[in-house]
Structure 1
Amino acid sequence: MEQVTMKVEGMSCMHCVNSIEGALKQQNIEGHVDLKAGTVSVKYDEAKFNLEEIKEIIEEQGYNVV
């Protein structure tokens, strides 16, 4: 399992948390949003996903991974 924390712009409320964490969970990726820090931490199987695919999942929800 790989674990990474990414800086994400545009998150401000619980809707943002639920949107990102829900989208990751649908793909069986463990994710945690920290609104105060503006980050998303993910734990994923690198045999199934790469970092670019995870960034796409987050960006499809309307947020910008920087």
Structure 2
Amino acid sequence: MSQSTYTVEGMTCSHCVSSVTEEVGQIAGVQNVDVDLATGKVTVTSDTDLSIDDVRAAVTEAGYQLAS
């Protein structure tokens, strides 16, 4: 198992959390997505290391962006 943490900008409510969780959760190999609304931290547990491009695309699809 691999665990990675990302910072997502623009989330303000529980709907934001749901959107990010759903989109990131659809990436192949993802087992769990934990979003902390207060900090913007998204912790992803997966079978293998994830591509940052895949995570960025999922977060963008949800309507948000990864912090640089």
TM range (shorter): 0.7 to 0.9
When normalised by structure 1's length, the TM-score is 0.81
Q: Percent identity?
A: 35
| CA-based RMSD | 1.7
**C-alpha separation in 1, matches of 2:42 and 2:16:** 11
C-alpha displacement at 1:55, in angstroms? 2.0
Aligned amino acid, residue 20 of structure 1:
V
Query: Which SS does the other structure have where 2:62 is aligned?
Result: coil
Task: Give the structure 2 partner of residue 11 of structure 1.
Answer: 11
Report the equivalent of 1:56: 57
Local SS of the residue matching 2:8: strand
Name stretches of at least 5 consecutive residues in structure 1 with no aligned partner: none
Query: How many angstroms apart in 2 are the aligned matches of 1:20 and 1:40?
Result: 9
Say if 2:23 and 2:61, in contact at 8 Å, map to a contact too: no
Counterpart-to-counterpart distance in 2, 1:58 and 1:37 = 16
Gaps of 5+ in 2: none
**In the TM superposition, what is the alpha-carbon distance from 1:56 to its structure 2 partner?**
1.1
Which portions of structure 1, spanning 4 or more consecutive aligned residues, are displaced by more than 4 angstroms? none
Assess, with a 3 A threshold, how the Cα gap between structure 1 residues 20 and 34 changes in structure 2: closer, same or farther. Answer: same
